[in-house]
Amino acid sequence: MARSGYAALIQEGAAVQKHDLLTDFTHITPTAHIATSLHGWRAKCLQRLVRLDLPVPQTVALSAPTVRAIASGQMVDCRAILQVFGAAALVSVRPSPENPDWGGPATILNVGFNSARHRLMVHTHGQAAADMLFLRFVQSYAIHVARLDPDMFEGLDPGAEGLREALRAYQQEMDEPFPEDPAQQLADVLRSMSRAWEGTTARLLRQAKGAPAEAALGLVVQQMAQGLGQGISGSGVIQFINPVTGDRQVKGRYLGQSQGRDALTQGGAIYLTRDKRGPSLEDLAPDLFAELVRQGEVCRQRLREEMQIEFTIEDGQLAVLDAVKVQRSSRAGLKIAVALARDGIISTADAVLRVEPRALSELLHPQVDPQGPRDVFTRGIAASPGAATGRIVFSSQAAQASAARGEPCILVRRETAPEDIRGMHSASGVLTERGGMTSHAAVIGRGLGLPCIVGASDLRLDSKDRKLTARDGRVFREGDIITIDGTTGEALVGAAEMLPPAQDEAFRQLLTWADELRDIGIRANADTPADAQTARDFGAAGIGLCRTEHMFFEEDRLVVMREMIFADTPKDRAAALERLLPIQRKDFGQLFEIMHGLPVCIRLFDPPLHEFLPHTREGLRDLAEALARPLSEVTRRAEALAEFNPMLGMRGVRLGVVLPEIYDMQARAIFEATVETVRKGAPVVPEIMIPLVSARREVELVKTRIDAVAAAVRTKTGVSFDYRLGVMVETPRAALRAGEIAQHAAFLSFGTNDLTQMTYGLSRDDAGRFMNTYVQEGVFPEDPFHILDVEGVGELLLMGAERGRRTRSDLTVSICGEHGGNPESIAFCRRAGFDYVSCSPYRVPQARLAAAHLALTEPLVQKAVEN
């Protein structure tokens, strides 16, 4: 075993002469120069406690450069440090990194314990206490400092025999007796802690928690306040907040005749507050308890944080050893921030900054309890957050039947298609074998707030035999219970333990503060009245994208839609559209009503028509029956509509140009709904958006007809209204030609799902198959359907916005692809001067908070904002 103890260093006289002992350490007093960046958060926090006049034992801080020097072979003057504490003091050494989340080596207590100290303690505290304390020190020294095998030092008899055994084992392993010199002990402890910090595992662990590669460690050496003595003596931990709910509540434990965090780990600890279940510190020592509560309040007020305080009582004397930020759930974190701001302890801006935007999604959906057991049988892309448990179903019909029986179900499909929409509405969660972040299941799942995993490509799905085989061979059948964790992308066997959602009053308050701060608008993508209501409830400033085709998948409309598709003549088509008109008018009227004067941007029909046709023989037969046509004809027509590459085929504005009656009907429905709403006294300015544009002429053609429909509706109803016509930029050519396209558009909205697909030439529905490998191999830094590719697609956004605005300075520019809800994309769009982002309703709260963070941390030149 390599030994590098203080004694060894002294023997290496040359080394000591070369590197004189360092004298850079600082006694923590109210006025000493202690900085978080130099000495770490714990040293700074202890200085604050000292300044608050709390009974903190004497403490010395070692700066990060000193600790680094120790790790590389130098040593600090340990005798000089020990002199600060007076003769025969015992000390503890604790890590003090710049950020408490970065962890650090284990605290070592009772440094300085030796035979002489042991003898003394036998007199003052009795044999048992002296043996116990010495043994514990030898154990932690052997394991953490000398790095001996823990097996030899654990499970020993806690009395004299165990102590002898431990000292013997130490000597045997180290070829020298246990060190008696306190300065040597301290030096070895400092060295081992410094080096532990430099180790690869520790570095990777802290980097995973966000620490920079060069993160440094400070150390604090503190006089031990023993929780052992004749009078009331012991140690404990107290906090004033429930770490899960954030409610105010005294929590913690106290254990007589103990030290460190024994009260939390050993039996016999008592409650802090009076409690029917057993004795408490409040009963035992009411004055000390009251003093602790007072100190807790001082900490909250002055440290501006909910702290957990580690304390000892030695013969009735209270000492505060340490205070750390209370570990907390996302829900508690939000509640704590709001309460601190309401109590005037922090500003509302600080409260907003203290809550991570991504943490909000945990509050909107039930979550799998991270403490509970997890039996994962597959992993895929975490496409829509939240968790749900239910019985497996393999078809939309089975999902609907399950919902009708009141049984939650998880819809498992190879991939979903528009005809699965009703099944998705009925399911509690969705799991698909294929697909990526913007595949149908993912987009609809997020829209509905439905937990969803896509691209679980190691599953083998046999929908005919209705079974699912996991990679490890486990087979699941229809009716088996599973849990979908859409937050992590893991599917679990059985019903996992869950935490409920928490959109409480504090949640709403924080977002109201965020809205006062942010400077980019947040709208929602909402297709149905239910979506629109969710969008409003979550504080969206309007609807940025209403995908009207989703309205046609309801059973009653689908038949009419199919009739329209199968119409032989323009007259027949017009008749079918005439039947769709009132349905659409009602849809739009409901949206206008729910949104109550907020802008509603309606995208005209986008998908290829054949998506509305059945894909199975059985479905075709049903359709033939419904249309009263021969099966052969229906099949032939359906086949004729099929395309080799439908996403690049007859869809979007191309349909609008080739079959203009569809857009005419939609425009009429929008304008008539506008008139009805205006007549009810509510203001509406509808926005109409043309999808998949690639040329100016497409916009001209559609605009001419829509203007004509508007004029006709105005004339017929005698009601005047305005509308705004805009273009969805989702082909690279539309971005490049945005200058001329903007001649006819009041707004441009970037559809980054298709734009990403077309910029990369990468199918958004198939990307899941290789995306993991691509990201792992570093081909893409991230899934570009998930995180906006700012270099490529982003350049098209910048170019399109700039060219469009050069034509029309008042052009409204926005993004409505799924990226719209990501904090990174919001930052990009905000810097590019976009007016708003639009995202799934359930992502609106996160987007509002992220936008406020950006406004606080990245000031921009002031601009007018749609709110």
How many other C-beta atoms can be found within 10 angstroms of the C-beta atom of residue 859? 9
Does residue 818 bind Mg ion (CB under 5 A)? no
The 768-807 site mask, x for binding Mg ion (CB under 5 A), equals ----------------------------------------
Output the six-digit token pair for 168.
Answer: 């013997």
Minimum CB separation of residue 753 from Mg ion in Å reads 5
Q: Which of residues 738-757 bind ligand PEP (CB under 6 A)?
A: 751-754
Which does residue 547 bind out of Mg ion, ligand PEP, none, counting CB within 5 to 8 angstroms by kind?
ligand PEP
x-or-dash pattern for Mg ion, window 742-761, by CB under 5 A? ---------x--x-------
Q: How far apart are CA 726 and CA 70, in angstroms?
A: 65
Tokens for 395? 């078809």
Catalytic option among 78, 452, 546, 816 = 816
Closest CA to 280 of 250, 317, 306, 307: 250
Q: Provide, for the chain, the percentages of residues in helix, strand and coil under a 3-state DSSP scheme, each rounded to the nearest 5.
A: 50, 20, 35
CA atoms within 13 A on the CB side of 774: 14
String of contacts with Mg ion for each residue 714-743, x by CB under 5 A: ----------------x-------------
Neighbours of 248 (CB within 10 A): 12
C-beta separation of 834 from 521 below 8 A:
no
- Alpha-carbon distance of 791 to 603, in angstroms, equals 27
Residue pair 171/152 in contact by the 8 Å Cβ criterion: no
Of residues 183 and 816, the one with the C-beta less far from ligand PEP: 816
How many amino acids of this chain bind Mg ion (CB under 5 A)? 3
| Smallest distance from ligand PEP to CB 444, Å | 10
Structure-token match 């035999």, residue found: 465
Phi–psi pair at 835, nearest 5 degrees? -80, -40
* Residue 545 interacting partner from ligand PEP, Mg ion, none (CB closer than 5 to 8 Å by kind): ligand PEP
Q: Are 237 and 227 in contact (CB under 8 A)?
A: no
Could you say which residues in the range 290-349 bind ligand PEP, by CB under 6 A? none
Choice between 305 and 698, CB closer to ligand PEP: 698
Instruction: Locate 776 and state its tokens.
Output: 């792992």
State in Å, rounded, how far the first CA of the chain is from the last one: 67
Beta strands in 452-585 (DSSP E): 452-454, 460-462, 467-469, 475-477, 481-485, 490-493, 498-499, 521-525, 543-547
- Which is closer to Mg ion, CB of 305 or CB of 754? 754
β-pair type (481-485, 376-379): unpaired
In the set 412, 790, 816, 855, which binds ligand PEP (CB under 6 A)? Answer: 816
As a whole number of angstroms, the distance between CA 528 and CA 442 comes to 17
Q: Pick the catalytic residue from 125, 365, 425, 440.
A: 440
Binding partner of 591, given ligand PEP, Mg ion, none, CB within 5-8 angstroms per partner class: none
Task: Look up residue 193 and give its two tokens.
Answer: 């802690």
User: Binding ligand PEP by CB under 6 A: which of 492, 545, 662, 851?
Assistant: 545
- Residues 424-453, one symbol each (x = binds ligand PEP by CB under 6 A, - = not), give -------------------x----------
Q: 798: number of CA atoms within 13 Å, CB side?
A: 12
H/E stretch holding 483:
strand 481-485
- The DSSP bridge partners found for residue 500 are none
- Using alpha carbons only, give the angle 683, 685, 690 rounded to the nearest 5 degrees: 160
Quote the least distance from Cβ 443 to ligand PEP, whole Å: 6
Q: How far is the CB of 817 from ligand PEP (least distance, A)?
A: 3
Minimum distance between the CB of residue 857 and Mg ion, rounded to whole angstroms? Answer: 32
Judged by CB under 6 A, the residue of 306, 362, 687, 730 near ligand PEP is 730
**547 is an interface residue for ligand PEP by CB under 6 A:** yes
CB 29 within 8 A of CB 35: no
Q: Is 816 a catalytic residue?
A: yes
Site map 583..612 versus ligand PEP, x via CB under 6 A = -----------------------x------
Q: What is the C-alpha to C-alpha distance for residues 513 and 509, in angstroms, rounded to an integer?
A: 6
What count of Cα atoms within 13 Å lies in the side-chain half-sphere of residue 170?
25
**Would you say 235 or 534 has its CB closer to ligand PEP?**
534
Question: For residues 467 and 724, which CB has a smaller minimum distance to ligand PEP in the complex?
Answer: 724
Count of residues that bind ligand PEP according to CB under 6 A: 11
Nearer CB in complex with ligand PEP: 547/668: 547
Residue closest to ligand PEP (Cβ): 751
Residue 749 interacting partner from Mg ion, ligand PEP, none (CB closer than 5 to 8 Å by kind): none
Q: Pull the structure tokens for residue 411.
A: 């819809």
Query: Which residues are 747's β-sheet partners?
Result: 726, 812
We find the least distance from the C-beta atom of residue 705 to ligand PEP, in angstroms, to be 22
Q: Whose Cβ is closer to ligand PEP: residue 78's or residue 442's?
A: 442
Cβ–Cβ < 8 Å for 390, 481: yes
Check: CB of residue 409 under 8 Å from CB of residue 426: yes
Q: How far is the CB of 819 from ligand PEP (least distance, A)?
A: 8
Q: How many residues are given for the chain?
A: 867
Look up residue 573 and give its amino acid.
R
Minimum CB distance to ligand PEP, residue 386 (Å) = 21
**CA–CA separation, 439 and 454 (whole Å):** 8
Q: Which residue type is seen at 339?
A: A
Q: Establish if 687 lies at the interface with Mg ion (CB under 5 A).
A: no
107 binds, among ligand PEP, Mg ion, none (CB under 5 to 8 A by kind): none
Q: What tokens does 335 get?
A: 């509640």
CB of 411 to ligand PEP, least distance (A): 20
- In the set 218, 817, 821, 845, which binds ligand PEP (CB under 6 A)? 817
Q: Which does 816 bind (CB under 5 to 8 A by kind): Mg ion, ligand PEP, none?
A: ligand PEP
State the binding partner of 305 from ligand PEP, Mg ion, none, CB within 5 to 8 A by kind: none
Contact status, residue 515 vs residue 847, Cβ threshold 8 Å:
no
**Closest distance to ligand PEP from the beta carbon of 757 (Å):** 8
Q: Which is nearer to Mg ion, 355 or 689 (CB)?
A: 689
CB of 46 to ligand PEP, least distance (A): 52
User: Nearest-CA neighbor of 111 among 179, 176, 157?
Assistant: 179
Q: Are strands 686-690 and 724-729 parallel, antiparallel or unpaired?
A: parallel
- Are 813 and 726 spatial neighbours (Cβ–Cβ below 8 Å)? no
Distance of closest approach, residue 756 Cβ to ligand PEP, in angstroms: 8
Nearer to ligand PEP, 410 or 844 (CB): 844
Instruction: Name the residue nearer to ligand PEP (CB basis): 754 or 835.
Output: 754
Nearest to 250 by CA among 242, 240, 259: 240
Chain residues binding ligand PEP by CB under 6 A are: 443, 545, 547, 606, 730, 751-754, 816-817
Chain residues binding Mg ion by CB under 5 A are: 730, 751, 754
- Positions annotated as catalytic residues are 440, 816
